[in-house]
Chains A and B, each alone.
Chain A
Amino acid sequence: METLQYTLRKLVTGIPLILGVTLISFTLMVHFGPDKTYDLLGKNPTQEQITEVRHQLGYDKSFVVRYTQYLKELATMNFGYSDSSGEKVSSILIRTMPVSLALILPGFVLGNLFGVILALIAAYHRGHWIDKIIMGVSVMGMSVSFLIVIIAFQVIFSSSQGLDLFPVRGWDVYSFTDYIHYVTVPTLASIFVSLGYNTRFYRAVIVEEMGRDHVRTAKAFGAHPIELLFKSVLKNSLIPIITRIMFSIPLVVISGSLLLESYFGIPGVGKVTYDAILSGDQPILKAVVGLTAIMFVFTLIINDILYKVVDPRISLK
């Protein structure tokens, strides 16, 4: 009951955030966005045709009217039809979102998992050469651009100059083997890029936790070092770890996949959105931006509830 109340209160405070995000993105992407009037008209259009097309696209209405219209669409989750393909926006999203998720998820999960494992190893051997090597390699990993990693991995694993094991681009997934076939190289690239950042972050968290009094006490009582690491250290460092993972979810789903999708030619949300920005396909943009904002607010709420689950000392106020 307490949790429910808390959730509701958080939802209400999330409303200004959703309004802000939608207002800024609406202003940028729709108000100042590309004008599609002349794309839809033939050569030498008459004044009436121009007015008619502008009316169809809703350009003749005032900013406020169009914005409230958008909010109404967002509330009802009805975004109409794409300007470019005429397909229903919701069906585009239903088609592309699973692709993006399937593409991003393995890399995201493994990148964080390996990050925590390496961080535990480094922190356990703190100051030792193992720690130094792990941290040195992490800084090197952080310094390589994502783009370079993608290009290099594609050459190494997919091209005829390299191992030629995986397809260069595309997404023809009908079975699990197809999936592994197409997802491996993008996954390896995203693990490579995120691992340095994750390891450094998690190591800092774990090292800080290792310096606490309860850990010293446990050590003094002769607790086994590995057990100490998992029970006293890792469990208590869960809050920053969860925060980091949760906050990257909404952005990873869209931004993270944009580069991978456009480089590997994978038809996911990132690619669709990017194309929509370039062509000024407003219904798609409105849907994606609005949904991302809502996802963000929900993430904040779930995050706070998870805090409570992990750490009973945190009160829901």
Chain B
Amino acid sequence: MSTVLDTSTVERVEDKVGESMWSKAAYKFRRDRTGMMGLSVVAFYMLIALGVALGLWGTEWSDNNGQKWEGISSQYWFGTNILGQDIFERAIFSTKTAFEVGLVVAVISTLIGAILGALSGFFSNTWIDEIILWVMGVLDSIPFYLFVAAIAFALSGFSYSMHVAMIATFWTTTSRLVRGEVIKLKNFEFVEAARAVGVPQHIIIFRHILPNTFHILLVQSTIVFVGAIKSEVILSFLGLGVKDGVSWGLMIAESTLEVQAGEFANFYAASALLFILVMAFNMFSDALQDALDPKKVSA
């Protein structure tokens, strides 16, 4: 009796967490310390952003109550900017802007990338594939900032023109990855079986094949999220980005004048918050990739 108990304590990872790819990945991810740290920082930022969206804090971002360039005090945690606005409030409000840009761009570009990538992979070497590949090739060969600037003008006045431009350029990478995976998957037995019992083609593509690329979509959407937040900063600085509200990019853009006068509070606040979020997201994304990609050898 005791020997039976002894062998059961020597359990394999598979016994403990189950056989599915997702439970294995979750197990692997939870043991990844940098990844968990990244995730908790991202979650904390998300809470801040959620609070701003619900109007709990960050509501006084546009009030200029203070004097120009006040120092750090209990009232103004990060001091005030050139207009006497509370930098802390503005930095907090910008968190919401960053999450809004990141989420909108990541979700929509992943959706487009998934659908078009699946179609182009499933119908590879047909005219559908040719057309989708052509569109991707075209979008990839237009310089990004020029493209954004052009879209901003074409959709002048539309406050989401930056989002549109980012989505239009970011989906192609996702789509290429999904296409490659679908080409591999469509020759598997489960697809053949589905076809044999007469499952309609669109159901095979979107219900049988596409869910199997979900790990790619998940990782790719975190990468797009980071890309969107970073591009927002540069676009806002160039005057092509966020139109209403405030963002870290706009804060850095206004800080360029202050920096010349030796006032760094605005620049530090926006840069630090941006850096920590992007860094945490990169760590989270790396851990996710390690956990989900069975082929990838970690470190």
Q: Is the pair A20, B297 in contact by a Cβ cutoff of 8 Å?
A: no
Q: Is the pair B149, A278 in contact by a Cβ cutoff of 8 Å?
A: yes
Q: A21-B141, A145-B233, A274-B145 are in contact. Are A28 and B154 (CB under 8 A)?
A: yes
Q: Is the pair B134, A143 in contact by a Cβ cutoff of 8 Å?
A: no
Given the complex, which residues of A lie within 8 Å of B256, measured CB to CB? 151
Given the complex, which residues of B lie within 8 Å of A231, measured CB to CB? none
Q: Does B21 contact A (CB under 8 A)?
A: no
Q: Does B183 contact A (CB under 8 A)?
A: no
Q: Does A116 contact B (CB under 8 A)?
A: no
Q: A139-B286, A255-B145 are in contact. Are A20 and B252 (CB under 8 A)?
A: no
Q: Does B275 contact A (CB under 8 A)?
A: yes
Number of interface residues, chain B, beta carbon within 8 A = 41
Which A-chain residue is minimally distant from B141 (CB atoms)?
A296
Interface residues of B, dominant DSSP: helix
Partner of B142 from A145, A147, A262, A292 at Cβ < 8 Å: A292
Q: Does A159 contact B (CB under 8 A)?
A: yes
Q: Is the pair B238, A32 in contact by a Cβ cutoff of 8 Å?
A: no
Given the complex, which residues of A lie within 8 Å of B55, measured CB to CB? none
User: Which of the segments B61-69, B81-89, B276-284 contacts the partner chain?
Assistant: B276-284
**Cβ distance A271 to chain B, nearest Cβ, rounded Å:** 11
Q: A143-B282, A151-B252 are in contact. Are A32 and B274 (CB under 8 A)?
A: no
A222 to B61, CA, bound (A): 66
Q: A21-B138, A277-B153 are in contact. Are A146 and B234 (CB under 8 A)?
A: yes
Q: Is the pair B153, A29 in contact by a Cβ cutoff of 8 Å?
A: yes
Q: Is the pair A147, B237 in contact by a Cβ cutoff of 8 Å?
A: yes
Given the complex, which residues of B lie within 8 Å of A278, measured CB to CB? 149
Given the complex, which residues of A lie within 8 Å of B150, measured CB to CB? 25, 28-29, 32-33, 277
Q: Is the pair B153, A33 in contact by a Cβ cutoff of 8 Å?
A: yes
**Cβ distance B186 to chain A, nearest Cβ, rounded Å:** 24
Q: Residue-by-residue, is A289-309 near B (CB-CB < 8 Å gives 1, otherwise 0)? A: 100110011000000000000
Partner of B141 from A34, A155, A250, A277 at Cβ < 8 Å: A250
Given the complex, which residues of B lie within 8 Å of A147, measured CB to CB? 233-234, 237, 249, 252
A161 to B259, CA, bound (A): 10
Partner of B271 from A24, A32, A148, A289 at Cβ < 8 Å: A148
Given the complex, which residues of B lie within 8 Å of A29, measured CB to CB? 146, 150, 153-154
**Cβ distance B61 to chain A, nearest Cβ, rounded Å:** 21
**Cβ distance B172 to chain A, nearest Cβ, rounded Å:** 13
Q: Does B78 contact A (CB under 8 A)?
A: no
Given the complex, which residues of B lie within 8 Å of A132, measured CB to CB? 299
Which B-chain residue is minimally distant from A126 (CB atoms)?
B299
Q: Does A199 contact B (CB under 8 A)?
A: no
Q: Does A105 contact B (CB under 8 A)?
A: no
Q: Is the pair A254, B138 in contact by a Cβ cutoff of 8 Å?
A: no
A245 to B274, CA, bound (A): 28
A278 to B148, CA, bound (A): 12
Q: Residue-by-residue, is A18-31 near B (CB-CB < 8 Å gives 1, otherwise 0)? A: 00110011011100
Q: Does B151 contact A (CB under 8 A)?
A: yes
Q: Residue-by-residue, is B287-299 near A (CB-CB < 8 Å gives 1, otherwise 0)? A: 0000000000101
A274 to B225, CA, bound (A): 26
Q: Does B260 contact A (CB under 8 A)?
A: yes
Q: Is the pair A159, B260 in contact by a Cβ cutoff of 8 Å?
A: yes
Interchain Cβ contacts under 8 Å between A and B, 8 examples: A24-B138, A24-B142, A29-B153, A142-B278, A145-B234, A145-B252, A159-B259, A255-B144
Give 10 nearest A-B pairs by CB, closest first: A32-B154, A20-B138, A143-B279, A296-B141, A28-B150, A143-B278, A255-B143, A277-B149, A254-B143, A29-B150
